[in-house]
């Protein structure tokens, strides 16, 4: 299957999430079947000011490895020449460039970036054109439906004139943040009027919801954010469901996913005990742990304690 001329293994992608979609997390989601991963948003101006961001630890969020492919990078900012410079420096490591036009955080909107760009779709169009002039990689934009009302069709039509390769649409306005339900009809209205690929996004947390998203929006591709944080298995669940099979991970698969994540964290020197502990608890939700294992997991204060508790549980269950 191809998306923007990139070979992808699935039509559901991992949405960019600041402070969540680290390299280990993206690799683990890829292993669970995410068709494409995208880095969290990265400041285009800061990259533009740095001669070699890949060797600078401050820019750990742009780290990627060949096994992650295909992978996109998401940039935020307002200054076209900074986007251009940033893309010239980092495009070699990525398969797709994405512009953040949806983040409602004041840190970004106060400087005219993120969702503030929705008030000036011509600006989004010129950023796309500027980036496309220096790269052959697909250039895409991730938008919300509008600033404080649904202007999605108007905004998408202006952006589409710049011939982006795709637009990712989160079916809420910036004002809504995460309130209410994502509006799939509004995403469909965009899909119906523009020429480029549309990736639908919002509220998918199961194979059934994924099916509903594609059915209601008419899109061929979808993106999952929050649900993947707690349930990265959702990608495989969707893939299996599309083959007519109902799948949920068994205890061993849940624990193995945690160990995949742990190994990636070790490999890239990105271990944080609090993060490991929350992943261990989230990924293993639904397992009927013995009381002892649960107490050890919740009380764990080091990575070794978390790992030991799960390893021993795994040994006990496989010995049965
Ligand atoms: C913690 C968090 C961080 C996010 N960071 C980004 C980001 O860096 N860039 C972006 O375009 N969207 C970001 N988003 C929005 C998601 O990509 C996605 O559009 C949104 O969560 C809706 O999809 P969902 O309902 O599947 O979660 C973030 C969302 C969350 C919850």
99 alpha carbon to ligand 1 midpoint, in Å? 13
Shared-domain flag, residues 291 and 189: no
Residues 235 and 276 in one domain: no
- The 3-state DSSP class for residue 62 equals helix
In 159-206, DSSP assigns E strands to: 166-170, 197-201
Choose which residue among 182, 223, 225 to substitute to test ligand 1 binding: the one with the highest number of ligand atoms within 8 A of its C-beta: 225
Q: Is 170 in the pocket of ligand 1 (CB under 6 A)?
A: yes
Ligand 1 centroid – CA 17 distance (Å): 5
User: Distance between CA atoms of 27 and 123, rounded to whole angstroms?
Assistant: 33
Same domain, 147 and 281: no
Question: What CATH code is carried by the domain that includes residue 173?
Answer: 3.20.20.70
- State the average pLDDT over residues 192-201: 98
Euclidean distance between CA atoms 4 and 6, whole angstroms: 5
Mean pLDDT calculated for residue range 217-235: 98
pLDDT higher than threshold 90 for residue 319: no
Whether residue 316 is predicted with pLDDT greater than 90 in this model: the reply is: no
Residues 184 and 289 in one domain: no
Q: Using a 6 Å cutoff on CB, does residue 117 contact ligand 1?
A: no
d(CA 280, CA 265): 13
> Are both 201 and 222 inside the same structural domain?
yes
CA-CA distance, 71 to 56, in Å (whole number)? 20
* 211 vs 319, higher pLDDT: 211
Point out the catalytic residue in the list 103, 196, 219, 265. 103
- Answer yes or no: is pLDDT of 23 > 80: yes
- Tell me how far the alpha carbon of residue 292 lies from the centroid of ligand 1, in angstroms: 36
The pLDDT tens digits for 181-193 are 999 999 999 999 9
Distance 311 CA to ligand 1 centre (A): 32
Dihedral sign, Cα of residue 258, residue 263, residue 267, residue 273: positive
Q: Whose CA is nearest to atom 20 of ligand 1?
A: 225
- pLDDT at site 290: 83
Residue 103 designated active-site? yes
pLDDT at residue 292, as a whole number: 87
Q: How many domains is the chain built from?
A: 2
| H helix or E strand, kind and range, residue 299 | helix 291-299
Q: Which long-range contacts (CB under 8 A, 24 or more apart) does 53-61 make?
A: 53/89, 53/90, 54/90, 54/93, 60/23, 60/270, 61/22
Q: Which of 12, 17, 178, 235 to mutate to test the pocket of ligand 1 (most atoms within 8 A of CB)?
A: 17
**Last residue of a domain, which of 215, 242, 269?**
242
Range of the domain at 269: 251-319
Q: What is the mean pLDDT of residues 267-285?
A: 95
What's the residue count for the chain?
320
Name the residue among 169, 173, 166, 75 with its Cα closest to residue 127: 75
Give the residue, by CA position, lying nearest to ligand 1 atom 2.
17
Do 193 and 288 have their domain in common? no
- 102 CB within 6 A, ligand 1: yes
198/113 same-domain check: yes
Instruction: Tell me the CA distances in angstroms from 268 to 28, 41, 271, one per residue in order.
Output: 13, 20, 8
* Residues 27 and 107 reside in one and the same domain: yes
The structure's pTM equals 0.97
pLDDT exceeds cutoff 70 at 298: yes
202 Cα nearest atom in ligand 1? 25
The alpha helices in 133-206, defined as continuous H runs, are 152-160, 184-193
**What confidence score (pLDDT) does residue 51 get?**
83
Which pLDDT value is given to residue 318?
A: 73
What's the average model confidence in pLDDT over 232-241? 98
pLDDT of residue 291: 84
pLDDT (tens digit, 9 = 90+) per residue, 33-90?
999 999 999 999 999 999 899 999 999 999 999 999 999 999 999 999 999 999 999 9
Specify which residues 142 forms β-bridges with.
100, 168
| 225 and 286 inside one domain | no
Q: Is the pLDDT of residue 320 over 70?
A: no
Q: What is the pLDDT of residues 131-153, one digit of tens each?
A: 999 999 999 999 999 999 999 99
Distance 295 CA to ligand 1 centre (A): 32
> For the residues 198-224, what does the mean pLDDT come to?
98
Q: 179, 211, 242 — which closes off a domain?
A: 242
What whole-number percentage of the chain has pLDDT above 90?
A: 94
Query: Would you say 127 and 158 are in contact if contact means Cβ atoms under 8 Å apart?
Result: no
**At 147, phi and psi to the nearest 5?**
-75, -65
Instruction: Give pLDDT, residue 317.
Output: 79
If asked whether residues 158 and 61 sit together in one domain, one would say yes
pLDDT of residue 229: 97
- Boundary residue ending a domain (205, 225, 242): 242
Could you tell me if 288 and 229 lie in one domain?
Answer: no
Average pLDDT, the chain: 96
């Amino acid at each position: 299957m191809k998306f923007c001329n990139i070979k992808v293994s699935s039509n559901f992608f991992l949405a960019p999430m600041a402070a969540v979609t680290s390299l280990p997390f993206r690799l683990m989601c890829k292993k669970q079947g995410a068709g494409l991963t995208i880095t969290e948003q990265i400041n285009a101006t800061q990259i533009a000011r740095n001669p070699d961001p890949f060797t600078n630890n401050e820019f750990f969020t742009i780290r990627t490895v060949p096994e992650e492919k295909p992978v996109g990078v998401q940039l935020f900012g307002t200054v076209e020449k900074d986007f251009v410079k940033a893309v010239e420096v980092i495009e070699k490591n990525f398969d797709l460039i994405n512009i953040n036009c949806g983040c409602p955080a004041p840190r970004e909107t106060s400087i005219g970036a993120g969702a503030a760009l929705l008030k000036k779709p011509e600006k989004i169009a010129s950023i796309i054109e500027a980036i496309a002039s220096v790269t052959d990689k697909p250039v895409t934009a991730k938008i919300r439906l509008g600033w404080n009302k649904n202007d999605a069709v108007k905004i998408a039509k202006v952006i589409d004139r710049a011939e982006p390769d795709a637009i990712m649409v989160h079916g809420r306005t910036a004002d809504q943040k995460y309130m209410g339900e994502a509006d799939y009809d509004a995403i469909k209205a965009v899909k119906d009027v523009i020429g480029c690929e549309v990736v639908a996004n919002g509220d998918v947390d199961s194979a059934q919801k994924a099916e509903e998203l594609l059915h209601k929006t008419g899109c061929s591709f979808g993106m999952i954010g929050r649900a993947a944080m707690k349930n990265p298995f959702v990608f495989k669940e969707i893939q299996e469901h599309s083959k007519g099979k109902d799948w949920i991970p068994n205890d061993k698969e849940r624990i193995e996913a945690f160990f995949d994540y742990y190994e990636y964290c070790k490999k890239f020197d990105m271990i944080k005990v609090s993060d490991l502990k929350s992943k261990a608890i989230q990924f293993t939700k639904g397992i009927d742990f013995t009381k002892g294992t649960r107490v050890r997991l919740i009380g764990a204060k080091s990575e070794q304690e978390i790992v030991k508790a799960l390893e021993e549980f795994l040994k006990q269950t496989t010995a049965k």
